């Protein structure tokens, strides 16, 4: 099972890399994200053993959740950019920096609350075991993707 997961992941990365070098940066990110989402959905359906009706309900709810998390992450990115600007600006007041730090931590809590709310909302769709499988799968999937990206970057650097 793990070997097929790794194989599929590598195949997606290989196929996506062939057209990525000719695409503008924003399009690259979007296309890679779409391909990774498709692969993730297929593997997740297999892992959780979802029937069609449950899969439809689950992915609709999950997509809404991911949209909310992505919006919070965009706000977090903006907060980090604001902090960077405040740090670089030597005339920034300590209160401005403290305010932005508070904003950042508030957004982090909001993101954690969104994840908690999503997981709790799944009780009417999934079994406890399926929810646990989802949590484990998402962690392993992110770790695997991160590992492949790092290996790809290292290979690219070594080829120079």
**Tens digit of pLDDT per residue, the chain (160 long)?**
555 555 445 544 444 444 444 445 556 678 888 888 888 888 899 999 999 999 999 999 999 999 999 999 999 999 999 999 999 988 889 999 999 999 999 999 999 999 999 999 999 999 999 999 999 999 998 898 889 888 877 777 776 5
Helix axes 128-159, 2-20, angle to 10 degrees: 50
Nearest alpha-carbon partner for 103 in 123, 139, 77:
77
pLDDT at residue number 25:
54
pLDDT at residue number 29:
78
Helix axes 128-159, 25-48, angle to 10 degrees: 140
pLDDT at residue number 12:
46
pLDDT at residue number 160:
59
Query: How far is CA 55 from its chain centroid?
Result: 19
């Amino acid at each position: 099972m793990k070997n097929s997961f790794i194989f599929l992941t590598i195949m997606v990365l290989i196929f996506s890399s062939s057209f990525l070098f000719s695409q503008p940066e924003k399009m690259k990110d979007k296309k890679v994200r779409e391909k990774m989402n498709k692969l993730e959905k297929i593997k997740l359906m297999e892992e959780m053993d979802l029937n069609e009706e449950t899969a439809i309900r689950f992915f609709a709810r999950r997509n809404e959740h991911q949209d909310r998390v992505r919006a919070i992450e965009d706000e977090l990115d903006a907060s980090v950019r604001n902090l960077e600007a405040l740090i670089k600006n030597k005339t920034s007041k300590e209160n401005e920096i403290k305010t932005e730090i508070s904003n950042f931590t508030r957004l982090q809590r909001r993101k954690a609350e969104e994840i908690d709310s999503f997981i709790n909302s799944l009780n009417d769709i999934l079994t406890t075991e399926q929810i646990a499988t989802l949590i484990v799968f998402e962690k392993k999937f992110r770790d695997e993707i991160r590992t492949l990206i790092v290996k790809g970057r290292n290979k690219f650097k070594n080829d120079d």
